[in-house]
Amino acid sequence: MSRPAPAARRTDVRCPRCARTQPPLPAGVFHCLYCGTPLPLQRWVAHPPPGVPDTRPRRLGRRPGYTGPPAYRGGHPRWGFPPTLWRWVDPPDPDAAVTPPVTALRSAAFAAVVTAVVCVLAGLAEIRRFVLMLRGRTDVLSGSDVRVSDALVTLASWTALVCAVVTAAIAVPAICRAHRAAAVRAGKTESRDLRSMLLRLLVPVWNIYGAGQVVSEVDGLLSGAVTESGRPRPSARALGWWACWILSSVLTSVVLARGLGASLQAIADTVELHVAVDLAAALVAVATAVLMLSWVRLFVGPRPGRYASWRVAGPAPSRARITDGAAAARRSSGVLPPTAAEAAELLAAEPGSAAPERAVDSDG
C-alpha cells in the first residue's frame, strides 16, 4: 500500500463544504482555497510487494447478456408442479399419535393374575413351614419333610419375586402411557412428566405414596369424576388398590426389620410375617389386575353384547300404497269414502236431488 498520490489537475473540483468550484490548484495543495476543507483529490493505490507476481484475475471477455427464455427443442417439458392450490398446512398435532395402551394393560393384568397365584402358593408353603415349626415343639420331624418344606418355600418365594418384577416391568410403562392417553382423552395437559411418574413409581419408600398419586390421577381422568376444586376424583377401585399397596409395603418393611433379629422368636415371627406378606402381595396383584381391566373397559368402551348388532325395524304399514285408479275403484265399491268432488257428482246424478251448497271432504 503506497502513500496517497495526487490525482491529475482538475478545474471542476467542487468543495464538499462551501460548494465552490476551485481554480487550477498548484502542486501539493489539497484544501479548499475558500474555506480550507480537504478536497477529494487523492486516493489510495494498492500495489503488490516487490518480487511477487501479479495474481489479479484477468477478464477474458465481456459476460454475455440475457438472450431470452430457454428454447426447448423437443417441445415444452411435461414435468412440473401439479395444477393444485397451495394452502398453509396446520402443524401436526403431537397428541394425535397417542393411543391407549390397551394391549399393555391386558398383559399387565395377566401377569398380575399369575403373580397372585404364585404368591398364594408361596403363602401356603410358609403356612406349611409354620405348621412344621409347631409340630417340632413336641415331635421329632422327618428330615425329608423339612427339606421338602424348605424347597417349596424357596422355589415359591423366588418365583413370586420374579413374577412381581415382570409384572412391574409391564405395568409401569403401561401406567405412564395410560396417564398421557387419559389426559389427551379428557382434553387436559399432563400434570406430571415421564421422569416424575417414574420416580414416584420406582423409588422405594416414595412409591408408597407416589404410586397411589399416579394411579389415582389416571383413574380419575378416565372416569371423568372431579372434586369440588376441579381435580380428578379416583374411583373406589383405585382407592382400594392404594390401600392394599400401603398395607403390603408396611408389612414388607416390618418383615425386613424383624428379620434382623437372631433369636428363635424372631425367626418364628418372621415366618408368620412372611405368610402375611405373601397374602398381601396376592391381594395387591388381584387389585392390580382388576384396575388394569377396568381401565381397558374405560378406554375401549363396554364389550358388545349378544344383541349389539340387532336393529329395531319400524312398524309395517297398515295398508299398502295404492294408485289413483285403484283408489277410485275402491271408493266406488264403498270400501273407501268418496272425495268431495265424487260426492257432488253422485248427488247430481240422483234424480230429485239438489247439489249441496258446500261439499265437505270426508278424507280431510
Q: What is the pLDDT of residues 208-227, one digit of tens each?
A: 999 988 998 888 888 877 77
| Residues paired with 152 in a beta bridge | none
Q: Which three cell numbers stand for residue 40?
A: 477529494
Which pLDDT score is estimated for 42? 62
Output phi, psi for 311, to 5 deg: -130, 140
The string of pLDDT tens digits covering residues 313-344 is: 777 766 555 555 555 555 555 555 656 666 67
- Within 8 A by CB and 6+ apart from 128, the residues are 149, 152
User: Residue 357 and residue 10: Cα distance in Å, rounded?
Assistant: 124
Which pLDDT score is estimated for 343? 66
Packed helices 264-300 and 143-186: angle between N→C axes, nearest 10 degrees: 30
Which segments of the chain have a pLDDT < 50? 1-8, 355-356, 358-364
| Residues paired with 5 in a beta bridge | 43
Q: How far apart are the first and last CA of the chain?
A: 115
Residue with cell 414435468: 79
- Within 8 A by CB and 6+ apart from 172, the residues are 198, 201, 202
Q: How wide is the angle at C-alpha 264 spanned by C-alphas 263 and 266, nearest 5°?
A: 65
User: Residue 262 and residue 277: Cα distance in Å, rounded?
Assistant: 20
Number of H helices, E strands in the chain: 8, 2
Which pLDDT score is estimated for 5? 45
